[in-house]
Chain A
């Protein structure tokens, strides 16, 4: 059963703490993405990875970091430098023949 998983579904953290969001896919896609969604807004690109051991900053990368050590995994760390981290975080992988992106269920992060 192919798909993308994200964990946890909900995450609560205190200000000043780093937190890592998990994203795993078994679709055999090379390209993976992290987006942030705030209420009433579209998806904004944080980071993307074209292939293992490579990743690029998106439009709002400040305060975030990623790694891509395995094809299946693309974890996102929200650091204490991110000024407004409370948001809905979405991971996606992309079929590079159709450019269709498929999303995981998302992680809702609340920082207080």
Chain B
């Protein structure tokens, strides 16, 4: 069974700090990795995609991928109270039609 695991949290960080969210996956053939943000009662919103080892930066967000360790992370710099949400990690196999979602990590940014 393919799995994507995340710490459920909650992860609490003060405003302005760096929030670090982690995700591990079990299927070594996974090739596409995604981070979604989900506010309470709302649908998931794609915030980052990463496909190769290393870092990918987009504004305050940095996704990091290490395929050898089967590990993907999301860093949020200068965290804001509006970043408070559940962050879902998702993994898929290129060419496949199944994306596996983790249960999500709840993030609280304290003002």
Residues of A whose CB lies within 8 Å of any CB of B are 31, 33, 35, 40-43, 45, 48, 50, 56, 58, 90, 94, 98-106
Contacts and interface: CB of A to CB of B under 8 A. Distances in A.
Interface string B16-49: 0000000000000000101000000011111001
B40 to A, nearest CB: 11
Contacts of A41: 103
B42 A106 contact: yes
A42 B34 contact: no
A45 B98 CA distance: 8
Given A42-B4, A42-B102, A31 B97 contact: yes
Contacts of B92: 99
A104 to B, nearest CB: 6
Interface of B: 4, 8, 32, 34, 42-46, 49, 88, 90, 92, 94, 97-99, 101-104
Nearest to B3: A42
B70 to A, nearest CB: 17
Contacts of B4: 42
A48 B99 CA distance: 11
Contacts of B103: 40-42
Contacts of A48: 97-98
Given A42-B88, A42-B103, A43-B101, A100 B43 contact: no
Contacts of B49: 98-100
Given A40-B103, A105-B43, 15 more contacts: A33-B99, A40-B8, A41-B103, A42-B4, A42-B101, A42-B104, A43-B44, A43-B101, A50-B97, A56-B97, A90-B43, A99-B94, A100-B34, A102-B46, A106-B43
Nearest to A49: B97
